[in-house]
Each structure stands twice: as C-alpha cells, then as structure tokens.
Chains A and B, each alone.
Chain A
C-alpha cells in the first residue's frame, strides 16, 4: 500500500506500535523519577523557587529555550509556516535573537544585581506595590489560563492524531507535571526542561532531513512550492520562500504585513517584551549561578533558537511542497483548525494547519521513530506547562501571597505554599481546559490578549531601568493605560472589523499583522503615559534607586576571563550569524 495513502486513509493520523508505547511510557517514568530524586533538594525558598541559583550557563540557557518550546509552539508555528510561508521564521529570528541578546547584555545585570525573585518583584523595587500588583495579578491569571488552554489544545491534537481520549490526555499529562514540579520545584522543572530539549530535537530533526532529501534540497523545495501554489492559483506564490523581499507592501505577501510591522511591532516590542519581561522565561536565567552565567544563558538560548526554524518552519514548507492526495495526485490543502475539526470537516477528512507537523511525522517515521516523535510533542507540552506552573507558583507566593496577604511569611511556609500552589495552579489549568472545551472561541481571545499584557510591561520595565526620572505613579498608570488600550483595540476590531484599517494600517492585515501593530501602539501609549505622569509627579531620590536604574547601579565586573568565555564575544558571533541568515533567505 502506498505509505501516503495509509496516512491519509485512517481515521486517526497515526497508529502507535508496542515499541512506540514503550518509548512514551519510559519517558513518563523518567520525568517522574527525576521529580522524586530531586524532592530532597528543594527545602528552602531559594531551592524551590530559584533552584538554589546554582545553574550553569548551559543548563540555564537550554531550560530558558525549552520553556518556550512548547508543543503548541512546535505545531502552531509549523502550521503558520504552511499558512504564511517562510515569513513565520521572523518569529524565530528578528522576533527573538536581538531581544535575547538585549536581555543577556543589557537587562540581565539589573535583574541579577537586585536579586529579585520575579519580574513583578523588580517592579516593586522600582515603582512600588501598585505596578507590582497590576503586573503580578495579570501575569498569574493569564499564566494559568494559558496553561489550561494549551492543555486543551494539546488534548485535541492527541485525539485527532492518535485517537486518544481527551480526559486521559489532560489528566495524565497535567498530573505528571504537577507531581514533578511540586516535588522538586524549579530545579525539577529545569532538569526536565533540559531533558525535553534533547528529546524535542531528537524527535523532530529527522523530518526536515528526510523532507529535504525527498524534495531535492532547498532549491527543489522552492521550485515545488512555486509550482504547487501556482497550480492552486494562490496570490504571490514566490513570496512563500522569501523573508524580506516581499515586505515592501502589505499586499505582496501572505501575511498582509509590511517591514515596519515586522521590525517595530515584532522585533522592537513584542519580542523585546516577551524575551525580556515574561517571567516564564526570565525565571530560568535568574537561576544561574553567577552574573557571567546569567549573561551567557540567553546567548546560548539564542544560538539554538536560530536553529529552531529547521525543525518547525521547514516541515511547514515541506508540507506545502510534498503533501498530495495519493488517490488523485491533487494537492492537499490544509484549512483553519475550526473548519478541520468541525463535524463537516471531519467527515470530509480535512486537516488543520496545525496538523502539518504530525502529518510529516507520519509520512517518514515508522515504529520507534514515531514513538520518539510523539514523545517530543508530549515533552514540548510538558516543558511549556511546567514553565507556566513554576512561574505562576513563584509570582503567587512572592508577589501576591508574600506582598499582599501575609507579609511576614517565613521561608518554610513559602515553600509549603509553593508546593500547594503548584497543585492548585494545575487544577485551575485543568478547569480552564474544560471551559475551553465547552467554548473553543475563548482560546482565540485569551491567546491574543496574553501577548499584549507583555507589550506594555516591556515599556514600563525599560523606562524603569533606563530613565531614573520615571516615578511610581508614572509606572503603574503607564502600565494600566497600555494594558487597557491593548484590550480596547482588540475589542474594537472584534466589534467593527473595519477598524483593522486604523489599528493595523491596512485592510489586508491578517491576524499576526494585527497583533504586531496593536502591540506597537499599546507599548507607545504606555511609554507616553509613563513619561507625562512622571513629569507631573515627584521622582524618587537617587539613593533609593541604587541597584534598579542604569547609571545608579554599579555593575559588577565580570571575572577576568578570556575572550572565548566572554558573553560579549559570543553575543557578537550570534548576531553576525543572525544577519547572515537574513541575507541568505532575503
């Protein structure tokens, strides 16, 4: 039987063999074993919430990247590259590398020197309790919501791909994460994230290697995509394999965006906001053993982040080039998820954009390799969820419980609280997953809004670090104004779709393009409000701003290391490679 026919004719995408099941069960046993092994090493607050601040640069760097490399990230961006072409790679390159380097070389010294436990904790030191409260409550709320919604989406994918019962997927995966994080705290989460990093690469790397062999290399892939999209009468078929050359106009590319949206909306605001202020990822770097390790960790993460398009973007492009109906030979066109997962879509055998990665996995991977690939997806889900849960636990314990509810909480009671909140956070996430199951549109709303709490937060943190005249009143009013304006713009477009022409500057703007411009505007609103209110209110004296503002903080000199161990040297190397990649795929 034709292998492609087998893949497409079955009711689920793939069927696991006994060896696949053994690999998956072994993985679950190993992560739980690590949790139990580390249980005795998480007795103090520093151990449980900050992993004892003893991570090497490599461990912190890999965990930093792994916490971001969730399964929805893998499948979602593979689907986006099928939908938007290589433009999706911008989220891995200009949408990550400059901001990760900025975090490493400019912001990390402040986070590290002030010894904060969290990003809201930094805001308390800089702007007081008001900004900390807004930031911590919005972060905690959105983290558990996102965790649950991701869990639901993962369960849907497991149902579609493997035919697994959704309750089984949700409870087994969530229970495993809850157990190993509650037992070993951040140390256990980081241990498992490093393991998951290797599994994700081991499971996903084979697809682009075999795909490029089948397509005839990069040139062959480009030619096949051009031929297929021309056959489908798609507009601008050549734009699917070019990063920058089609961004002169909104309507020259499949995303409906121009270069300004990518450079300023994505690169300067969303990416900077996410990679420098989202505590989910920053927490991993704060656990580094010294300042040099804390600076090197995001640079190591950036070096690997540059390679992620190989296992995420390339499979989406390969799907565009190679997926054909084995019966008719005609091209298979993937569709939006709601269309594919509807009863009518299932009856017609439609597949969603996000299924392109499992489709390619089923195309090339037989017994054993399939188990590894599915384990990689599960590992991605668990690393993303553990990241959310451990960050939620820390922010709740230090920035809500310790700052607002019990200011005199002892270290021991904080650890106890941390263990319980881990379980409670997972239970709330499970509840959110079931709410999402009953009302799938909530996923769209929450995922969009989440990213825009981050954009104004970046404006607040950046002004706080670099401008000593920024006042506490300026800080929290700017953060509030930025957050409310992002929600307001989102609601405006939902109520009146014509508003896209004002928010995203073009009626051609697709979802991602709208996200970029909305983030840009709300960050600017945050900065302007912070500036105006600060100029009208009394600044804090310099003596109170030591260790939290640039120019008033003595940055400890790095140990006397050679250039080969210097974060600046490796930062330049990564940046040069980043520029070369932009030119190659221009």
Chain B
C-alpha cells in the first residue's frame, strides 16, 4: 500500500525490523565477548544473536526491496 507519497508500509516495516534486529544482534555479539554476570534461562543458545540476525536480514530485505528508489523503478516500469 502506498500513502500517496513514495514510501510504502513495507519500507517502514523493514526499517523497524532492521534497526531493532541490528541493536539486538549487536548486543548478542557483545554478550558473547563479555558474558553478563546474571544470565537468562537457556543463555547458552544465544538467542539474541540468531534472533537479532533473523530480524536484521528480514528488515534489510523489506527495506531494500520496498525502498523509495525501487518503488520509483517499479512505478516507471508500469507506466
């Protein structure tokens, strides 16, 4: 869905997932290098690394695929 402008809802979704995923992934990497004193249950699975990574990749996909530049290309192809 477009807003009438050039930004799609999926672009905002990608932005949100990408930024959040990057922050969680970075935190996970930091915890790998410097393990916290208090750990959550199943800490050894390092969920923040792989879950943050999944969100980051999903965010990049949505953000790039539905970026304003790609949207303009698609619109130009249709017209």
B interface list, Cβ under 8 A from A: 1, 3-5, 7, 9, 12-13, 15-17, 19-20, 23-24, 26-28, 31, 36-43, 45, 47-48, 51-52, 55
Contacts and interface: CB of A to CB of B under 8 A. Distances in A.
Interface pairs A-B: 6 shortest CB-CB: A368-B24, A368-B27, A59-B1, A41-B4, A366-B40, A363-B41
A263 to B, nearest CB: 37
Contacts of A198: 13, 16-17
A364 B17 CA distance: 20
A204 to B, nearest CB: 12
A206 B16 contact: no
Contacts of B36: 366-367
23 contacts: A1-B38, A4-B41, A19-B27, A30-B12, A30-B15, A37-B3, A38-B3, A41-B4, A41-B5, A52-B4, A54-B1, A191-B3, A199-B20, A202-B20, A206-B47, A210-B41, A210-B45, A214-B41, A363-B41, A366-B39, A367-B27, A369-B51, A369-B52
Given A3-B43, A26-B19, A40-B5, 17 more contacts: A19-B23, A22-B23, A26-B16, A37-B7, A40-B4, A41-B4, A56-B1, A190-B1, A191-B3, A198-B17, A199-B20, A210-B45, A365-B40, A367-B31, A368-B24, A368-B27, A368-B48
A3 B3 contact: no
Interface string A34-55: 1001101100000000001011
B9 A3 contact: no
A191 B20 contact: no
Interface in A310-368: 362-368
Contact of B38 (A6, A187, A214, A364): A6
A132 to B, nearest CB: 30
Given A3-B43, A195-B16, A206 B9 contact: no
B20 A23 contact: yes
Interface string A182-202: 000001001100110011001
A59 B11 CA distance: 13
A486 B23 CA distance: 50
B42 A364 contact: yes
Interface in A365-412: 365-369, 371-372, 375
A52 B4 CA distance: 10
A364 B47 contact: yes
A368 B7 contact: no
A369 B38 contact: no
A214 B23 contact: no
Nearest to A34: B12
Contact of B13 (A38, A41, A195, A364): A195
A37 B28 CA distance: 33
A364 B23 CA distance: 17
A96 to B, nearest CB: 24
Contact of A194 (B9, B20, B42, B55): B9
Contacts of A368: 23-24, 26-28, 48, 52
Given A26-B19, A30-B16, A194-B13, A55 B41 contact: no
Contacts of A54: 1
Contacts of A55: 1
Contacts of A371: 23-24
A27 interface: yes
B47 A210 contact: yes
A213 interface: yes
A191 B41 contact: no
Most buried by A among B7, B23, B26, B52: B23
B48 to A, nearest CB: 5
B41 A3 contact: yes
Given A37-B3, A368-B28, A3 B17 contact: no
Given A4-B41, A213-B42, A37 B5 contact: yes
Contacts of A27: 16, 20
Contact of B3 (A41, A363, A375): A41
A191 B55 contact: no
B12 A369 contact: no
A193 B17 CA distance: 14
Contacts of B26: 368
A202 B55 contact: yes
A213 B42 CA distance: 9
Given A3-B38, A41-B4, A368-B28, A191 B12 contact: yes
B6 to A, nearest CB: 10
B60 to A, nearest CB: 14
Contacts of A22: 23
A539 B37 CA distance: 76
Given A30-B12, A194-B13, A202-B20, A366 B31 contact: yes
Contact of A366 (B12, B16, B43): B43
Contacts of A372: 20, 24
Contacts of B12: 30, 34, 191, 195
B40 A3 contact: yes
B65 to A, nearest CB: 14
A26 B55 CA distance: 15
A37 B40 CA distance: 39
Interface string A161-192: 00000000000000000000000000100110
Contacts of A19: 23-24, 27
Contacts of B45: 210, 213
Contacts of B31: 366-367
